[in-house]
């Protein structure tokens, strides 16, 4: 069987998501030495179903679908499987595309992978340089529980690795909020706070909304915030989706398929 890798992003009206997806797909292609096809669940072209057809027409009959998402949700458990022609919530199956039998393997989002926590730990050192710093892991938030669990797991792992003051918060939908996490960190005596966004790409949330909640300038990498009663140094990391070290997480996912 001829294998093909399908790298799937969410899609966005802004260009940041596509830029992150394309960069990671190119890095993965160079790392493994074989083509990587990119597609998007919505909004951004090309869409998943059209790329699957192109892959099959090119001779591929075994597709390894890698959703470049931090956490599961309706897109990865319902929408994308439907477009791939496999059962909802499954890890793959057989389907027919353009009259041909095709095997689909559906990988899980990367947010629970321990290697992501390694990256977060390295980022703390890069942006702050102090192991005794306080840490806030932030997520988008969701009406479903998947996003909250991923953010919580990574925060707990950092605590287990020796960071004594680790908090987590969400931009919307879930609690604690970013404001609550910031308030707790400041009340605990924090002077330096490393803020780690578990987001794929930049956008209005990361560039404008969250900095306002942190008390730092928009489109910045941090600053001194006095929003929570006293001055603290905020070190604001870039979204994880742009991190070149993620390619190793993706490579490990492909090892089970002999790639």
What amino acid positions are annotated as catalytic residues?
10
For residues 46 and 34, give the distance between their C-alpha atoms in angstroms, rounded to a whole number: 20
Angle subtended at Cα 231 by Cα 226 and Cα 235, rounded to the nearest 5 degrees = 90
Residues 6+ apart with CB under 8 A from 207: 218, 219
For residues 107 and 68, give the distance between their C-alpha atoms in angstroms, rounded to a whole number: 10
Residues 6+ apart with CB under 8 A from 65: 6, 8, 80, 84, 92, 104, 105, 106, 107
For residues 135 and 168, give the distance between their C-alpha atoms in angstroms, rounded to a whole number: 8
Q: How far is CA 143 from CA 75, 81, 140, 153, 204, in A?
A: 13, 20, 10, 18, 20
- How far is C-alpha 96 from the chain's CA centre? 30
Look-up: residue for tokens 């009959």? Answer: 61
């Amino acid at each position: 069987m001829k294998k093909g890798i399908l790298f799937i992003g969410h899609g966005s009206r802004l260009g940041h998501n596509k830029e992150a997806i394309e960069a990671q797909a190119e890095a993965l292609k160079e790392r493994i030495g074989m083509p990587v096809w990119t597609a998007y669940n919505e909004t951004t072209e090309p869409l998943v179903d059209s790329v699957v057809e192109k892959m099959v027409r090119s001779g591929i009959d075994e597709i390894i679908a890698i959703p470049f998402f931090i956490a599961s949700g309706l897109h990865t458990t319902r929408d994308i499987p439907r477009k791939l022609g496999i059962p909802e919530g499954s890890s793959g199956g057989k389907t027919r595309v353009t009259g041909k039998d095709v095997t689909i393997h559906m990988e899980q989002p990367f947010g629970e992978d321990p290697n992501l926590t390694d990256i977060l730990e390295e980022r703390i050192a890069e942006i702050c340089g102090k192991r005794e710093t306080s840490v806030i892991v932030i997520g988008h938030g969701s009406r479903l529980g998947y996003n909250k669990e991923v953010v919580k797991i990574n925060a707990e792992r950092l605590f287990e690795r020796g960071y004594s003051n680790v908090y987590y918060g969400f931009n919307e939908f879930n609690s604690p909020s970013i404001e609550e996490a910031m308030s707790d960190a400041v009340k605990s005596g924090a002077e330096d706070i490393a803020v780690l966004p578990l987001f794929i790409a930049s956008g209005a949330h990361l560039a404008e909304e969250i900095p306002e909640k942190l008390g730092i300038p928009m489109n910045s990498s941090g600053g001194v915030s006095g929003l929570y009663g006293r001055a603290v140094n905020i070190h604001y990391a870039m979204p994880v989706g742009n991190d070149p070290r993620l390619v190793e997480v993706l490579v490990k996912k492909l090892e089970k398929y002999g790639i």
